[in-house]
Amino acid sequence: MEFAEILPYFSEKRFIAELQATTKQGALEELADKFVDSDLIRNRDILIEMLQRRESVGSTGIGHGIAIPHGRTTATAELTVAFGKTSAGIDWNSIDKEPVKLIFLIVAPPSEEKNKYLPMLGTLVEFLSQEKNRERLLNTQTFEEFKQILTD
């Protein structure tokens, strides 16, 4: 999957230039609220519970200041992503023990016709493995800048 292919799954309604949260739980809730606000999640509590279960299996903090909490849930009818960043950093129990500054929250229904959930996750990990992409995302202030980074 090309990175430009995942751009339609992002929206300005689910973009947070600076998270207010200072904890993992707070960040998950703040990002989950963006799904609720854009009418993509039917039940916020189901989403939060799924995310907590996923984190209890193992941290979604993949290192280099990145977390990609993700999962399938009946709370949504479509694959979608929220993005938030924090300059302060949040303890996420990441594999490298470093604070997380870039968070991509991916949710998908239990089954999806086009089966893009895992390819999207892989594409994000590949994109974020490049330091220049992480640095650019850390400096983005608007959704327009964010989209430009994703399409460059």
Please name the residue that has the structure tokens 């739980």: 25
The better pLDDT of the pair 71, 114 is held by 71
Q: Which of 14, 24, 34, 70 is catalytic?
A: 70
Rg of the chain, C-alpha, whole Å: 14
Rounded Cα gap, residues 51 and 69, in angstroms: 7
> In the chain, what is the greatest distance between 2 CA atoms, to the nearest angstrom?
39
pLDDT tens digits, one per residue of 55-80: 999 999 999 999 999 999 988 989 99
Q: Where are the alpha helices (DSSP H) in the chain?
A: 3-6, 24-37, 44-57, 117-128, 131-139, 143-151
What superfamily does domain 3-151 belong to in CATH? Mannitol-specific EII; Chain A (3.40.930.10)
Confirm whether 70 is a catalytic residue.
yes
Angle at 110 between CA 76 and CA 108, to 5 degrees: 50
* Per-residue pLDDT, 26: 97
pLDDT at 41 over 90: no
